[in-house]
Structure 1
Amino acid sequence: MIDIEQEFLKDLDNQLWRAADKLRSNLDAANYKHVVLGLIFLKYVSDAFEERQQELTELFQKDDDDNIYYLPRDDYDSDEAYQQAIADELEIVDYYTEKNVFWVPKTARWNDLRNVITLPAGSVIWQNEKGEEVKLRSVSWLIDNAFDDIEKDNPKLKGILNRISQYQLDADKLIELVNEFSRTSFSNPEYNGEKLNLKSKDILGHVYEYFLGQFALAEGKQGGQYYTPKSIVTLIVEMLEPYKGRVYDPAMGSGGFFVSSDKFIEKHANVKHYNASEQKKQISVYGQESNPTTWKLAAMNMVIRGIDFNFGKKNADSFLDDQHPDLRADFVMTNPPFNMKDWWNEKLADDARWTVNHNGEKRVLTPPTGNANFAWMLHMLYHLAPTGSMALLLANGSMSSNTNNEGDIRRALVELDLVECMVALPGQLFTNTQIPACIWFLTKDKSVKNGKRDRQGQVLFIDARNMGYMKDRVLRDFTDEDIQQIANIFHNWQQEWSEENNQAGFSFSADLATIQKHDFVLTPGRYVGTEAEEDDGESFEVKMTRLTQELEVQFAKSAKLEQMIRENLKGLGR
């Protein structure tokens, strides 16, 4: 069934992308993504809303002592009155928000919008809240009006949803796109005659993420700045395990880490025997993003999934305009731009974020002005709670570079015992750069706590450069098994470990003295060694003699073949 679901999603991706891609003749990628993602947003929230409506309709009529929603038919004079009562109940906002379902006002519900898009301009389509007749001016206006009403009911989205009218799209193109998005059954879908166990939230969430990835490819480098490979985000979340507390991403892009944290809770709910909905209420999401477009996409991404969030009052630079100055998060994770050069400002010269206090020791670690890698790390450490953990993706150079004072900062982080784990990643993971990357895991508390052993003075190194598979000609990706293998070795190391657990060529637990011998270079390959070859019972001397003899035989055959070819060529020359 899983394979069928994947095939269904792949076909759906291709179908919808082909429809959306038709807009490229009218708009460039940077603009048509707003139109497409805006429509996906409307479809997504409408479908989730409709699913809850159907569920409520059944609950209102279900006579069950444990059903608090039941509306007894006998309480009403007629069927008409009873149906009206149900209709009125269906418009109560609390019924939706209690299940983390986004409230969609009547004027923004997808099926209603679709039913009127082919009406001639000037047609009366409904009455507004004041009882005034609303006339259709254009298809773009209809969608923009839906966005207006959504923002009125959801203040956190104010100014977030881009209006379509500004792009002056041809009405036929827009109608075609709406119809294409409408053709797919997102509720109780079937594929090749088989019913799939996928809800509209699962399907549309997948489509949304797929489109973000496609836009990243279409826009090149700039597009990639807000899209981190899903498997890498999943890996980090699986390793950090953010069950509860404050989660912060200072370079959040479209909010992929927050979405993955939400999915992580749902995935592990059954295993850990807790209620996913209740557990999600124990998570607080904080983020920041400098790009105004991406900041809006992140907000849409959160609303789509019913995740409460605080992304600051505006899009802003995390270094120069920190939107969460007093935040101390339990989990901090991010994929900042690699090797960012133009970030420094003299206002940052004596910033408090460059002073690290840990275990009674204080170090001033001002990052180099020409590279923001360690500035991101120090910014994150500053916002990390005393018992918190963090992870960030950086270019491989961060593990070994001594340019400016990078080597000194890295040494200080190790000596302060803040580094917990280093993961070397394979190449070709990112759409926007071929720079090899790694993941730094830092923590302010390696003591015995929450089922974890005392890891003070130890760092785990994992070399995952040979893992993954090529998903196409240019991009590599991790399988679910790869992610689980890496996460498991990390969790095992946190809980119980001995030298026998080290795996040659893959993982190694090093003490600070060993790291010092390597001049505080943190490249995993230096520590894990090479994978041990299987012992076939043949000694080296015997094997070397045998292989040398075999090679001499092959050389002799090669010389004989070469002579035969020369003789044949001479014959052709006559």
Structure 2
Amino acid sequence: MWQAADRLRSNMDAAEYKHVVLGLLFLKFVGEAGPPLRAAGAKPPPTRGFKVPAAARWDTLLGKARSPLLGRDLDQAMAAIEAQNPTLRGILPQIYQRPGLEAARLGKLLHLLDDIPDLGSQGRKAHDVLGRVYEYFLTCFASAEGRNGGQFYTPPSVVGLLVALLAPTRGTIYDPACGSGGMFVQSERYFEEHGGHRGELKIVGQESNPTTWRLARMNLAIRGIEGDLGAEPSDSFMRDLHADLRADYILANPPFNARAWGATALADDPRFCFGLPPDANANFAWVQHILYHLAPQAWPASCSPTAR
């Protein structure tokens, strides 16, 4: 499936194309045809929690796959879903009329994604199936982008090791550079596998890249995971959205060795109680940001919260 989707990419950069594919995957999830037929008088099955107008349903759009105006119809479908679902506003890609994205290629991509089995399943199974497909495509796109792929994605094997080391079983987990949200997905999975229930682990994060922030919001939404990633993307150093947060667990893969991270504007910031790191390298700034946001009982034994 990835090979077929990648062939349809043609000359489009992988960094741009991932938003095309992942947006359509999300649209397929929320826009599948209505619930299965049921006996008269029977209670309707549980919904996925999204309102989808008829024009935005997957079968409707699939019927327009050969239309030269398919890009317009897909953008309108995204806008219509956002309009009826406040939690999705501002996160669905409306990029399908862009120059160079031919309607014929989009139509083939729709048919390709339509072949994914069981995406129309109800309830938790739908979240799990699409979640795995979404993660698989994220992995492939990160590989296609090479070094730049690390800006939005950490390999699942690395995330799994970090999650197992921290073993989140209660409270709040925070990621100040959350990328596409993989840390949260695996933390939630670990939590449930060890007796926790969906919604009991509070998820808080922040991401500065607007397109990556949208990927994270979609990644959590298709898995039925609630999380506070802020109302908009923003830089954790320059605009700390969760300044009062003291988390039980902090799990992050921030952009190390970043230059010009804003040190000159943050000389008196309480987060940097161990000394202001140089503006030429943000590594120690990330360490101090993380320590600052840890709950006192979660601090390493060798450190003292009173150092703040």
TM-score when normalising by structure 1:
0.49
1: distance between equivalents of 2:184 and 2:87?
A: 17
2: distance between equivalents of 1:292 and 1:212?
A: 16
2: distance between equivalents of 1:373 and 1:345?
A: 12
Q: Which residue matches 2:257? A: 339
1:544-559 residue pairs with structure 2 within 5 A? none
Native 8 Å contact 1:102 1:304 kept in 2: no
Q: State the 1:167 CA deviation.
A: 1.8
Q: Which residue matches 1:379? A: 289
Indicate the RMSD between aligned Cα atoms, in angstroms.
Answer: 2.7
1:36-435 residue pairs with structure 2 within 5 A? 36-46=21-31, 53-54=35-36, 82=40, 89=44, 95-96=46-47, 101-107=48-54, 108-118=56-66, 138-168=69-99, 169-186=101-118, 199-269=125-195, 279-355=197-273, 364-388=274-298, 417-418=302-303
Native 8 Å contact 2:29 2:119 kept in 1: no
1: distance between equivalents of 2:27 and 2:169?
A: 30
> 2:214 is aligned with what amino acid?
K
2: distance between equivalents of 1:303 and 1:187?
A: 14
Deviations 1:38-91 (A, max 9, x none): 1111123346x96xx44xx66xx5xxxxxxxxxxxxxxxxxxxx46x86xx56x
> 2:12 is aligned with what amino acid?
L
2: distance between equivalents of 1:141 and 1:283?
A: 39
> 1:171 is aligned with what amino acid?
A
2: distance between equivalents of 1:188 and 1:114?
A: 14
Native 8 Å contact 1:117 1:139 kept in 2: yes
2: distance between equivalents of 1:29 and 1:343?
A: 27
Q: How many residues align?
A: 301
Deviations 1:186-207 (A, max 9, x none): 2699xxxxxxxx9443332222
Name the CA shift for 1:245/1:153 in 2 (closer, same or farther; >3 Å).
farther
1: distance between equivalents of 2:232 and 2:126?
A: 31
Instruction: Note the residue ranges of structure 1 that are not aligned, 5 or more in a row.
Output: 1-14, 62-81, 122-137, 190-197, 270-275, 356-363, 390-412, 419-442, 445-574
1: distance between equivalents of 2:129 and 2:149?
A: 23
Native 8 Å contact 2:169 2:194 kept in 1: no
> 1:139 is aligned with what amino acid?
L
1: distance between equivalents of 2:72 and 2:96?
A: 6
Native 8 Å contact 2:206 2:234 kept in 1: yes
Q: State the 1:26 CA deviation.
A: 4.4
Name the CA shift for 1:380/1:207 in 2 (closer, same or farther; >3 Å).
same
Q: State the 1:220 CA deviation.
A: 2.6
Name the CA shift for 1:294/1:187 in 2 (closer, same or farther; >3 Å).
closer
1: distance between equivalents of 2:175 and 2:230?
A: 12
> 1:381 is aligned with what amino acid?
L
Q: Which residue matches 1:407? A: none
| Structure whose CA Rg is larger | 1
Native 8 Å contact 1:344 1:370 kept in 2: no
Name the CA shift for 1:148/1:310 in 2 (closer, same or farther; >3 Å).
same
Native 8 Å contact 2:177 2:205 kept in 1: yes
Native 8 Å contact 2:119 2:130 kept in 1: no
Native 8 Å contact 2:203 2:226 kept in 1: yes
> 1:185 is aligned with what amino acid?
P
Native 8 Å contact 1:253 1:289 kept in 2: yes
2: distance between equivalents of 1:167 and 1:347?
A: 38
> 2:114 is aligned with what amino acid?
S
Q: State the 1:353 CA deviation.
A: 0.4
Q: State the 1:343 CA deviation.
A: 1.5
2: distance between equivalents of 1:143 and 1:188?
A: 19
Q: RCO (CA 8 Å, sep 6+): is it higher in 1 or 2?
A: 2
State, as a whole percentage, how many aligned pairs show the same letter.
46
Moved more, 251-260 or 324-333: 324-333
Name the CA shift for 1:46/1:244 in 2 (closer, same or farther; >3 Å).
farther
> 1:240 is aligned with what amino acid?
L
1:385-534 residue pairs with structure 2 within 5 A? 385-388=295-298, 417-418=302-303
Q: State the 1:104 CA deviation.
A: 4.1
> 2:189 is aligned with what amino acid?
K
2: distance between equivalents of 1:41 and 1:187?
A: 10
Q: State the 1:18 CA deviation.
A: 2.0
